[in-house]
Amino acid sequence: MPKGLLGIEELERSEIEQILERAKVFQPHGGQTFGKVNTCTGRMVVNLFFENSTRTRSSFEIAAKRLGAETMSITASGSSVTKGESLVDTLNTLVAMRPSAIVMRHAASGAPHFLARHLTTPIVNAGDGTHEHPTQALLDARTIMDRCGRLDGLRVAIIGDIAHSRVARSNIHLLAKFGVDIVLCGPPALVPRDLARIATGITIEYDLRRAVQGADVIMMLRVQLERMHEPSMQPGEYFRFYGLRPEHVALANPDAIVMHPGPMNRGREISSEVADSQQSMILNQVENGVSVRMAVLERVLLQ
Amino acid sequence: MKLLIQNGRVICPETGHDAVADVLIEDGRIAGVGPGLPTGGAGVIDAAGLIVAPGFIDIHVHLREPGFEYAETIESGARAAAAGGFTTICCMPNTNPVNDSTTVTSFIVETARRKAPISVFPIGAITKGSQGEELASIASMVAAGAVAISDDGRPVMNARVIRRAMETARALDIPLIEHCEDLNLSAGGDMHESVDSIRLGLRGIPSASEDVMVARDIILAELTGARYHVAHISTKNAVAMVAFAKQRGLHVTSEATPHHIALDTGAMKPYDSNYKMKPPLRCTHDVNACIDGIVSGAIDCLATDHAPHAGDDKMQEFEKCPFGITGLETALGISLEVLVHSGKISLPRLIALYTSQPARIMGWKDAEARGALKPGYVGDVTIFHPEYPWVYDVKKSESKSSNTPFNGRTFHGGPIMTIVNGQVVWRAPGF
């Protein structure tokens, strides 16, 4: 059965390296657009988004088109889900139309894993609930390597609502496979202590200044207001204690980079000075999103 | 009408009998136990090489009728129980409508009398609609046949309400059974709070959510003198607190389910709803504490919490799936494996967990006396093999639902014949 990409946790380090290598080949030069490689002509990719997304969906769409594959995007609001159809029935209906792969985002953790057990079409996870967002971690790794030249031995601080972040989980798994020194930081209600045990090399820190001390990479997470069902911290207090400002970046390594998966809330988790600084890699991440997703889709489509 | 069960190893924990003997059932009642009883016109069953025990009792079952007949009916659930060796079951009130009135209680009693091959006793709701606010018509339900009260699945969060319910239960001399879960602590949780829940991105149900309510209830049980029973106990602290309450002489009892002693969080297949239940599968130290609690007596009996859900309901995103798994047909196989074959407890002790012990908790008397092979007791007998290998095939289940993590599992030992009021109501294929 053809394999999709459900998460980083189950990938081998060598598989990750292959994807990142291939993504480098797809990176555009200078001000050019992505080259059209047409390795996947005749393939059909369905983007099935049960949650709103602008950047991930368009990134997957562009990636598929650059590979020469055809794409179709479906959003939940326009689908039969709102008419009460079950997830399995929706997917079975799509599978009967014989797409080559399904790119899926869903608000429930494990939704693509559950479907993968019942379907033969490979599924690429574009974010499942509070579980994983594998292509985000891959594009983040590509971005770090572009700038730092390596992953091994780096110190990466991940700041924010770790408990509810699929971006954080995928990044933690990926970075741990490369022996990265990972520091997780955020309000205690959003950074449970057991997080330190989901992979190797993790420390937990509740003080932002200590977390970013000597960091090579500072990854900010979006404050997810829609997931704030835990009593944690007043929004005003959040920026005071966990909002990234220039004085924090000054504590990191001199050539440290700042990342954010977007969309960012300026003045909530990150100050504009930092977001717009030279050290900010936010737009590089978006660009790498396309090349990494080309590599992932190609790998899935050409097996 | 006479039935003679010959030459089995007759084990009755209540009387202490454990020897090869015959059991005679006459007019639906146990008439005698002993070697070489005269046949005297009785139907004869040869139980040589088999265990002959009092009929098994499961005090925690969900039958889904009225309201969810597509998942289970009183008849299908009772048939599944018979296939699991059970002769008596007690059904929880979370039907639709909730069993909070004589209307529903009587409906269950009447339907069971007409359609169920075994004895079915309803458990009434503690509060109206199991909403946790106003007490249900408890005395009337008891008069109509309810044997206990519980808002299983919907823990009573208001301590004052549970106090009044305990006072009522005490006056009626029935047990109050609590599903212990502080809903604020467990809010939105789908599995045990642990490294695994964090890894899988699922919200956790902490052990503390159970512990907090067990602690509260034990304090209130002392205040009211009620017979208080903890349903499906699953945490180390809860077991310790029940043991402490017993030491202090309180009328506190508890049950464990077969799945909570057989499986821990690590046994879960990720996002497979056949592993989703409340309480959730806990950590290894909780599982071991439950097994130790059975050995020590802190846990009084086993109960399945048989919770059938139709396939469609369980074929969804994990967080959308309802809680619960079926359990009647696998209970004996699992408990033999975890408790007896492992050397934790003896066979007579296991039988006590399914017979005399649950009977003591519910307190059946006089014409309803059961759970032992004593003359005059109801003529219910469970015959089982303690070792033969068999594979559980959910496709052949008597239940209307198939939500179990044990499909395809090989067990060593299981039910052979189920006898209710002197009538054989189920026998294993080939016997």
B186-244: pLDDT as tens digits: 988 999 999 999 999 999 999 999 999 999 999 999 999 999 999 999 999 999 999 99
pLDDT at A226: 61
pLDDT at A231: 67
Q: Over range B47-51, report the average pLDDT.
A: 97
Nearest neighbour of A109 by CB, restricted to B187, B194, B319: B319
Nearest neighbour of B317 by CB, restricted to A9, A114, A192: A114
Chain B residues in contact with A192 by the CB 8 A cut-off are: 198
Chain B residues with CB within 8 Å of chain A CB: 187-188, 194-195, 198-202, 270-272, 312, 315-320
With a pLDDT cut of 90, the percent of chain B lying above it is: 97
**Smallest CA–CA distance from A107 into chain B, residue:** B317
A177-188: pLDDT as tens digits: 999 999 999 999
pLDDT at B141: 98
Closest by Cα among A107, A101, A74 to A90: A74
With a pLDDT cut of 70, the percent of chain B lying above it is: 100
In eight-state DSSP terms, residue B336 is I
Asked, as a colleague might, if the bond just before B66 is cis with ω within 30 of 0, I would say: yes
Residue A272 and residue A292: Cα distance in Å, rounded?
27
**Average model confidence (pLDDT) across chain B:** 97
Q: Over range B375-400, report the average pLDDT.
A: 97
Q: Over range B61-72, report the average pLDDT.
A: 97
Using the Cβ of A55 and the Cβ atoms of chain B, whether some distance falls under 8 Å is answered with no
Chain-chain contact of B319 with A108 (C-beta, under 8 angstroms): yes
Chain-chain contact of A166 with B271 (C-beta, under 8 angstroms): no
Residue A268 and residue A277: Cα distance in Å, rounded?
17
Residue B68 and residue A144: Cα distance in Å, rounded?
55
Residue B85 and residue B80: Cα distance in Å, rounded?
9
Using the Cβ of A105 and the Cβ atoms of chain B, whether some distance falls under 8 Å is answered with no
pLDDT at A37: 93
B406-421: pLDDT as tens digits: 999 999 999 999 999 9
pTM, two decimals, is 0.94
A10-60: pLDDT as tens digits: 999 999 999 999 999 999 987 788 889 999 999 999 999 998 888 999 999
Give the three-state DSSP class for A259: strand
**Average model confidence (pLDDT) across chain A:** 93
pLDDT at A80: 62
pLDDT at B346 over 90: yes
Using the Cβ of A9 and the Cβ atoms of chain B, whether some distance falls under 8 Å is answered with yes
Q: Over range A256-268, report the average pLDDT.
A: 93
B305 catalytic? Reply is yes
Question: Per the residue annotation, which of B182, B217, B264, B305 is the catalytic one?
Answer: B305
Residue A81 pLDDT level (bands cut at 50, 70, 90): low
Chain B residues in contact with A106 by the CB 8 A cut-off are: 317
Our CA-based measurement puts residue A225 at a distance from the nearest CA of chain B, in whole angstroms, of 17
pLDDT at A1 over 90: no
Closest by Cα among B120, B129, B176, B126 to B148: B176
pLDDT at B49 over 80: yes
Residue A76 pLDDT level (bands cut at 50, 70, 90): confident
Chain-chain contact of A194 with B320 (C-beta, under 8 angstroms): no
Q: How far is CA B411 from CA B339, B414, B415, in A?
A: 13, 7, 11
Our CA-based measurement puts residue A198 at a distance from the nearest CA of chain B, in whole angstroms, of 6
Bridge pairing between strands B86-91 and B2-12: unpaired
Q: Which of B196, B200, B272, B318 to mutate to test the interface with A (most CBs of A within 10 A)?
A: B200
Chain A residues in contact with B312 by the CB 8 A cut-off are: 86
Residue A82 pLDDT level (bands cut at 50, 70, 90): low
pLDDT at A78 over 60: no
Our CA-based measurement puts residue B152 at a distance from the nearest CA of chain A, in whole angstroms, of 26
Chain B residues in contact with A169 by the CB 8 A cut-off are: 199, 201
Asked, as a colleague might, if the bond just before B97 is cis with ω within 30 of 0, I would say: yes
pLDDT at B143 over 90: yes
Give the three-state DSSP class for A207: coil
Q: Which of A194, A221, A224, A229 to mutate to test the interface with B (most CBs of B within 10 A)?
A: A194
Give Rg (Cα) of chain A. Answer: 19
Strands (E), A186-267: 202-205, 217-220, 257-259
Using the Cβ of A194 and the Cβ atoms of chain B, whether some distance falls under 8 Å is answered with yes
Which residue type, as a one-letter code, is found at position B317?
A: E
Chain-chain contact of A131 with B201 (C-beta, under 8 angstroms): yes
Nearest neighbour of A129 by CB, restricted to B201, B270, B272: B201
Neighbours of B115 (CB within 10 A): 15
A143-175: pLDDT as tens digits: 999 999 999 999 999 999 999 999 999 999 999
pLDDT at A246 over 90: yes
CA angle B327, B330, B332 (to 5 degrees): 115
Give the three-state DSSP class for A34: coil
Our CA-based measurement puts residue A195 at a distance from the nearest CA of chain B, in whole angstroms, of 7
pLDDT at A14: 98
pLDDT at B315 over 80: yes
**Smallest CA–CA distance from A191 into chain B, residue:** B198
Nearest neighbour of A113 by CB, restricted to B194, B270, B319: B270
pLDDT at B77 over 80: yes
pLDDT at B46: 97
Residue B250 and residue B272: Cα distance in Å, rounded?
40
Chain B residues in contact with A113 by the CB 8 A cut-off are: 270-271
Residue A227 pLDDT level (bands cut at 50, 70, 90): low
Chain-chain contact of B199 with A198 (C-beta, under 8 angstroms): yes
Nearest neighbour of B202 by CB, restricted to A106, A109, A114: A109
Q: Which of B192, B199, B321 to mutate to test the interface with A (most CBs of A within 10 A)?
A: B199
pLDDT at A32: 86
Our CA-based measurement puts residue B265 at a distance from the nearest CA of chain A, in whole angstroms, of 15
Q: Is B361 left (phi over 0), alpha (psi -120 to 50) or beta?
A: alpha
- Max mean pLDDT among A78-82, A172-176, B41-45 falls in A172-176
Which residue type, as a one-letter code, is found at position B67?
A: G
Query: B-contacting residues of A 227-256, CB under 8 Å?
Result: 229
Chain A residues in contact with B318 by the CB 8 A cut-off are: 108-111, 114
Neighbours of A9 (CB within 10 A): 20
Residue B143 and residue B172: Cα distance in Å, rounded?
10
Chain-chain contact of B271 with A163 (C-beta, under 8 angstroms): no
The half-sphere exposure of A74 on its side-chain side, counting CA atoms within 13 A, is: 18
Chain-chain contact of A114 with B200 (C-beta, under 8 angstroms): no
Using the Cβ of A54 and the Cβ atoms of chain B, whether some distance falls under 8 Å is answered with no
Q: How far is CA B3 from CA B19, B51, B301, B316, B386, in A?
A: 19, 16, 29, 48, 23
pLDDT at A237: 87
